[in-house]
Amino acid sequence: MKFKCRACGELLTKELSNTPVELCEEDGKDLIPEGLTLKDNEWSDGQWVINSKDNLSMETTDNPKRLNGCCDLDGCDGPNLVCKSCKAEVATAKYDCWMPRHIVLSKVGTDAIT
């Protein structure tokens, strides 16, 4: 499966497999391996989670209120990734030092392509 921007149709991710996987919950490490996606776990709140290396066309928002964190983005203030094409909010990057690294895709900003 892949994910696209709901607003403009831009492809946002690489091809991903929804295969069960053991999560790495170590601070600063990837939560989920590259090439996989999952949802319905404690990190996703029912939204799809991907590895940051599977991002094709999402970039950091210009909204300074969404760019908080001590070492990197913590995602605690809402979506901080936008579609490169149309700038719609599409995901929340959670990269800070006190959490495992991952991207949570927005339920309202993205659509799955299967």
Instruction: Kindly report, residue by residue over 60-99, the tens digit of the pLDDT.
Output: 999 999 999 999 999 999 999 999 999 999 999 999 999 9
Supply the pLDDT for residue 43.
80
The domains of the chain are located at 1-114
Which pLDDT score is estimated for 42? 81
The span from the CA of 65 to the CA of 32, in Å, is: 27
* pTM exceeds 0.85 for this model: yes
Which pLDDT band, with edges at 50, 70 and 90, does 112 fall under?
Answer: very high
* Tens digit of each residue's pLDDT (9 = 90 or more) over 8-47: 999 999 999 999 889 999 999 999 999 999 987 788 888 9
CATH among 3.40.50, 2.40.50, 2.60.40, 2.170.150 for 1-114: 2.170.150
